[in-house]
Structure 1
Amino acid sequence: MVVRKTRYEELRDLLDLYRHFDNGDPVLPDSPELKELWGEIYSNPNWIYLVCEVDGKLVSTCTISLIKNLTRSARPYALIENVVTHREYRNKGYGKMVLKKAQDIARDYNCYKVMLMTGSKKEETLKFYESVGFRKGIKTGFVMNM
């Protein structure tokens, strides 16, 4: 088992892992536009896609975005999104491992905070995020779907 940055050639494996989201998103088909988008994402040092690999299979992932900032003594902040673990590998600690790695990256970049939002109302999901150090009720979040 290893937690690491996603490799460029693992796009299809990453997209297959995203099928385990409970949000009904369609799977993105292979296309030149998708390849171009992935190239842009992958080459940006402030967008990091992490994966947990077990026996050659990607089983958990999250994305951390590092955002430069002109407040808080010019310290950046981070946003974690797209946290998902393969259904067959849940409750084994893999999701915690990718989130801990994301937190380590945020510390290494001297971020003053890490934010994570979830659309889930499930108590088990909320407790999961609390178990890795996130606290609810600190700030009020607003979302505008576009």
Structure 2
Amino acid sequence: MATKGDLITIVAMLADDVLGSKRERFEDPLPNSYIKAFEAITSDPNNELVVAFCDKEVIGVVQITFTPYLTHQGGWRATIEGVRTSASVRGKGIGTELIKWAIQRAEERGCHLIQLTTDKKRPDAIRFYERLGFKATHEGLKLKLLY
């Protein structure tokens, strides 16, 4: 599990691409909004923020949220969010291991489904998730409220 000490590296990874650089605020010290979000995530038993390490360096992150639903006979779903790997290790299988871990974790929690979204402007990410068995079975819609 991620610790508060990992947070600055996590935000740096989230900001380290074309889309992330436009929506994240990677500063030292971090804006308080990241600290509040981290505390909310780590205090919620239905959220897990997990980091991958190489030696003592954080090289990857994934957030998984578990949600109960009335549909599917009251089943649980897992939502994967914020998957990133450090630029120094991209293409070396770290992202694959993070997703495989998330799938296993969802199975352990009794989820019947795992869902995720990725921006349509990320064709490499779409291919990555498809190689891992994810299918675009639904049309996702979002409504932006802030910014």
- Same fold, judged at TM 0.5 (above): yes
TM-score between the two structures when normalised by the length of structure 1: 0.84
> How do residues 22-61 of structure 1 correspond to structure 2 at under 5 angstroms?
22-23=18-19, 24=22, 25-27=24-26, 29-30=29-30, 34-61=34-61
Q: Relative contact order: is structure 1 or structure 2 higher (C-alpha 8 Å, sep ≥ 6)?
A: 1
Matched, 1:19 2:33: no
Alignment partner of 2:6 out of 10, 15, 20: 10
Residue 99 (structure 1) aligns with:
99
- Matched with 1:130 is 130
The residue aligned with 1:144 is 143
**Which amino acid is the alignment partner of residue 10 of structure 2?**
L
In the alignment, the residues of structure 2 paired with residue 102 and residue 114 of structure 1 have an alpha-carbon distance, to the nearest angstrom, of 9
Unaligned runs of 5+ in 2: none
CA contact (8 A) 2:52 2:59 kept: yes
Q: CA-atom RMSD, angstroms?
A: 1.9
Misfit runs of 4+, over 6 Å: none
Give the secondary-structure state (helix, strand or coil) at the position aligned to 1:145: coil
Deviations 1:22-44 (A, max 9, x none): 32222264355643442222111
Q: For 2:9, give the aligned amino acid.
A: D
1:12 deviation in Å?
A: 2.1
Is the contact between residue 17 and residue 86 of structure 1 (CA under 8 Å) also seen in structure 2?
Answer: yes
| Deviation readout 1:34-58 (Å, 9 max, x if unpaired) | 4344222211111111211112111
Aligned residue for 1:129, secondary structure, equals helix
Residue 38 of structure 1 aligns to a residue whose secondary structure is helix
Identity %, equivalent residues: 23
- What does residue range 102-121 of structure 1 map to in structure 2 within 5 Å? 102-121=102-121
